[in-house]
Amino acid sequence: MQPTFPKPFSYETFPATGLVAYFSMEIAINPVMPTYSGGLGILAGDTMRSAADLGVPLVAFTLVHRKGYFQQHLDGNGVQSESVQPWDPSDFCTEVPARVTVSVEDRIVTVRAWRYDLVGRYGHVVPIYLLDTDVDGNSGWDRGLTDHLYGGDTNYRLQQEIVLGMGGVRMANALGHHVNVYHMNEGHAALLTLALIERELGGGPLGTPTEADLSLVRQKCVFTTHTPVPAGHDRFSTEQTIRILGGDRTAQLEKLGCYRDGMLNMTLLALKFSRYANGVAMQHAKVSRGMFPEFAIHSITNGVHAPTWVSEPIQQMLDEHIPTWRRDNLYLRNAIDLPEKEILAAHARSKEDLLAEVEFRTGLALDPKVLTLGFARRVATYKRSTLLFTDPERLLEIATAAGGMQIIYAGKAHPQDEPGKALIHKVVEDGARFSNSLLRIVYLENYGWDLGALMTAGVDVWLNTPRRPYEASGTSGMKAALNGVPSLSILDGWWIEGCIEGFTGWAIEDGADDAAEANSLYKKLETAVVPLYLQAPENWARLMRTTLAFNGSYFNTNRMVKQYTRNAYYPVKLIEKAKVQEEAFAD
Ligand SMILES: *Cc1c(COP(=O)(O)O)cnc(C)c1O
């Protein structure tokens, strides 16, 4: 008989040390609310889901994004066009009565909030507040400030960041939340520190904060950076900050050393006012320390919310063999002992589901027996979606040797990213040109949550080809691993930690240039991936098993949120200081 466990009331005794407020420009709350664009938002959502499962006392703030990110349309040649995704927050959320204001340029903008209750596995609720400036009395322009995720220009972005950071802090106050820890998920939220400093000064405009004021703010803030290259950091010109934030604030922030190269640097601002900062993988923390050597930047490697990303067939298998896997993802290590036949059968069902979706969308019937690679992510040039096409003849030879190969692509390019759009066009064109009866290449439209889940579970190998060191972490390969799907990837981001050659997938070796890395990619396909796929299926099943056991048990937000609570929110020294009350685990 399986033992039963008491229902965990909360992850240990955190209420004694207080509430965390989590700030993120995007949060993927559920598949039908278009409040996210990609990796950052999915990570934020998975973090909230695990915090709710673990009973961490946490509330979150984001923007409502009434027009969403965008819906992607691809014509026959792979030319992308976009349309808005309008949605009605009242279909999913409850409006709270509180109103706060922020000043933007010379205007006072009223902010309201929609509350979404995210309920964890044991009933703990994480409220997510979606800030909204579409309020009577605001100007037409201001009413649109919370419409478009990553839309508009840098002026629009800075105004949105005022709403998120400063509006969010004031909304938390107005709602009566006594916040002990403010977590900035990426630099977009850094202006919350400005609101906290002003609050220390009595709520007025920024006078002259003392070292004690600043230290009080610093004691409350935690920051996660996500960007491994200087150009990726959010920055605003002095002219913009004077105009939008105001001259006094600009002068103060300059005095506090938050400008770099004449620009307000949001990463720098967040780092200056955080008692704890971290990158999202070991390598990324190193790279971040290189960019900001004056700060101690720790690392907490990203994860994904396992029950969200494990396919139904794999869930059924895990429920049978490892019934504790949902409450504690560490038990996934026991996947090492799963019966080979069952993991093959579960994967075959996931693959069928994906191929059915491909056929539904494109009319193309792919072969479930054929080796299938998946490549899906935000399309940016550094991700090199066309690396696989460097030598089409060699690719065709590989497909022939494998008895056929299928490659499924998906991904959106930001509407203003012309080189990214050109890449999609090229993948679609090359894909059509190189496809034949042995090599089939499809590009699926409108990559999002549902398609991401189908693809990471349903392909045989997950491919990732970023240029080092641009991939801070990457999380889609983690979703694949939780479904037993190995990765074939450049050693960047999480894969440096996750790659055990031949057991969780394969590394594409570093080369001097794209051609050298393409060569390594082909070589791994020729000498490792294809030969193993052609062997007895049990051998592939053992690879799937080790992938799930080693990487599924670690690269999840269950582990990640515990690390945040232990190392960032409530380090032991803070817990000792607080009067910790023993809470009985209620059944
Ligand atoms: C997981 C996910 C991402 C992030 O994946 P990366 O590997 O970081 O590129 C982006 N978009 C969607 C829809 C996802 O599900």
pTM to 2 decimal places: 0.95
Reported as a pLDDT band with limits 50, 70 and 90, residue 232 is: confident
The whole-angstrom distance between residue 33's C-alpha and the CA centroid of its chain comes to 16
For the chain, the domains span: 19-303+561-586, 306-555
Residue 502: CB atoms within 10 Å: 12
CA of 295 relative to ligand 1 center, distance in Å: 29
The pLDDT of residue 3 is 64
**What confidence tens digit (pLDDT) does each residue in 365-406 have?**
999 999 999 999 889 888 999 999 999 999 999 999 999 999
pLDDT (tens digit per residue) in 289-313: 999 999 999 999 999 999 999 999 9
- The β-bridge relationship of strands 297-299 and 276-279 is parallel
With the most atoms of ligand 1 within 8 angstroms of its CB, the residue from 476, 485, 556 to mutate is: 476
pLDDT of residue 16: 47
- Ligand 1, residue 476: give the atom nearest the CA: 7
The residues with which 224 forms a beta bridge, in sequence order, are 185, 278
Please say if the pLDDT value at position 581 is more than 60: no
**Average pLDDT along the chain:** 93
> Which superfamily, per CATH, for 19-303+561-586?
Glycogen Phosphorylase B; (3.40.50.2000)
Q: Which residues pair with 505 in a beta bridge?
A: 487, 501
Tokens standing for residue 109: 């903008």
Q: Phi, psi (5° rounding) for residue 103?
A: -105, 130
Residue whose tokens read 């539904």: 360
What band does 31 get if pLDDT is binned at 50, 70 and 90?
A: very high
pLDDT in tens, 135-183: 999 999 999 999 999 999 999 999 999 999 999 999 999 999 999 999 9
CA of 39 to the centre of ligand 1 (A): 4
Which pLDDT score is estimated for 583?
Answer: 37
pLDDT of residue 422: 95
What pLDDT score was predicted for residue 572? 63
Model confidence pLDDT, tens digit, residues 36-76: 999 999 999 999 999 999 999 999 999 999 999 999 999 99
List pLDDT tens digits, range 93-148.
Answer: 999 999 999 999 999 999 999 999 999 999 999 999 999 999 999 999 999 999 99
Which pLDDT does position 231 carry in this prediction?
A: 82
Total residue count of the chain as it appears in this document = 587
Residue 339 CA, ligand 1 centroid: distance in Å: 30
Among 378, 445, 462, 494, name the best residue to mutate to test ligand 1's pocket (greatest count of ligand atoms within 8 A of Cβ): 378
Q: How does pLDDT run across 427-442, given as a tens digit for each residue? A: 999 999 999 999 999 9
Smallest CA-to-CA distance from 229 within 471, 465, 464, 497 is with 471
Is the pLDDT assigned to residue 578 strictly greater than 80?
Answer: no
The pLDDT of residue 376 is 96
8 A C-beta contact, residue 195 and residue 169: yes
In which element (H, E) is residue 221 found? strand 221-224
CA distances in angstroms from 459 to 95, 97, 102, 184, listed in the order given: 41, 47, 47, 34
CATH of domain 306-555: 3.40.50.2000
Query: Are 19-303+561-586 and 306-555 equal in CATH topology?
Result: yes
What residues are in contact with ligand 1 under a 6 Å CB criterion?
38-39, 42, 377-378, 447-449, 452, 474-476, 479
Q: Which atom of ligand 1 is nearest to the CA of 37?
A: 11
Is the pLDDT score of 360 beyond 80? yes
